[in-house]
Amino acid sequence: MLIRQTNYQNDESEVQTYVNYLAGIEAGAETAVATLAEGDYELALDYEVKNDARTTPSIGPIPSFSILPEYNSYTIRFKFSVRNGNAMVFLLDSATGSELTDSAVTENGFMVDFAKSHYLDIYVKRSVLSSNRTDLVDVRSNEPASDGTSYTESGIYTITATNPATNQTTEKVIYVGNEPLLKCYAITGYSLSEIKTMMDQGATIAEDGSIQRPESPAVAEAGDAAAEEDPSEAKAEKAVTLPIVPIVAVVIVAAGAVAFAKKGGKAAELKAKEVSDEKPKDN
């Protein structure tokens, strides 16, 4: 059995030969061939079948043997490919080597690492602010990426990795540089016109590219009023209002006592009348 690999750079490896492969299967030998390396493979199984068309008869202790045997040769060939099922590309900071995740910001640039997934279709698109309109971005390059390529020019980079074997796609956005407007556009998802509108309304762009909105006028006025309030006046008002509760409670209790007393006197008067009515009259 013969096996040959062609890698992603189209380099062919030396042929691996397994002699007496079929005999090894019959004898129970280890004949499994395993490979995890990506590439295109060619396999050929060359074997022959012996045909004893002419044999001598056995005479006593002399066994029969073949005279001028015939051989029929056969070959089974096929090809197969090994591919990484991942559709992932790793982006590393050019200066520190640390991994950059989606929507990351770096001033050093980044490097593309295929992580041994050599059969991915990877494109890198670079965009900058349009020279004609500051509310639009202009694509300056959109090209295939090579393993280990670095990108250091300022701009917004969109990296798209597609795996032809699985039809899966992964997209990441990286911002390179220190332009606040583009940084905010890259990480927030707002359009440039939306960012400009928010900035006109008083919003600012933080160091990490996020939008910092100003306080609403109502909230600011309430805070200013609370800050300007005289503490002595607040205490006086509190002192005046606090006794109201116990005074009201006393009035309610007094009213209840008066009502109860009236109710009790009337009940006693009715009781006395009932007793007088029950006395026998003199004949």
pLDDT value for 135: 66
Whether the per-residue pLDDT at 236 is higher than 80: the answer is no
Whether the per-residue pLDDT at 19 is higher than 70: the answer is yes
pLDDT value for 216: 61
pLDDT value for 13: 92
- What value does the mean pLDDT of the chain take? 78
pLDDT band at 22 (very low <50, low <70, confident <90, very high): confident
> What does the alpha-carbon distance between residue 23 and residue 240 come to, in Å, rounded to a whole number?
109
> What does the alpha-carbon distance between residue 181 and residue 164 come to, in Å, rounded to a whole number?
36
> What does the alpha-carbon distance between residue 127 and residue 132 come to, in Å, rounded to a whole number?
14
pTM of the model: 0.60
pLDDT tens, residue by residue, 83-118:
999 999 999 999 999 999 998 889 899 999 998 899
Residue 166 CB contacts under 8 Å (≥ 6 apart), including other chains: 85, 87
Whether the per-residue pLDDT at 249 is higher than 50: the answer is no
Residue 48 CB contacts under 8 Å (≥ 6 apart), including other chains: 71, 72, 73, 74
Strand partners, 168: 163
pLDDT band at 14 (very low <50, low <70, confident <90, very high): very high
pLDDT value for 255: 46
Residue 167 CB contacts under 8 Å (≥ 6 apart), including other chains: none
pLDDT value for 134: 64
134-143 b/e (C-beta count within 10 Å ≥ 16 → b):
eeebeeeeee
> What does the alpha-carbon distance between residue 263 and residue 89 come to, in Å, rounded to a whole number?
92
Which of 137-146, 181-190, 231-240 shows the lowest per-residue confidence on average (mean pLDDT)?
231-240
Spatial contact of 136 and 115, defined as CB atoms under 8 Å apart: no
Whether the per-residue pLDDT at 187 is higher than 70: the answer is yes
Burial class (CB in 10 A: 0-12, 13-18, 19+), 190: middle
- Average of per-residue pLDDT across 154-175: 94
pLDDT value for 182: 80
- Average of per-residue pLDDT across 118-137: 84
pLDDT tens, residue by residue, 63-85:
888 888 888 999 999 999 999 99
Burial class (CB in 10 A: 0-12, 13-18, 19+), 182: buried
Q: Give φ, ψ of 209 to 5 degrees.
A: 95, -5
pLDDT tens, residue by residue, 32-54:
777 778 999 999 999 998 888 78
pLDDT band at 188 (very low <50, low <70, confident <90, very high): confident
Residue identified by tokens 């590393």 is 92
Residue identified by tokens 């061939």 is 33
Spatial contact of 176 and 157, defined as CB atoms under 8 Å apart: yes
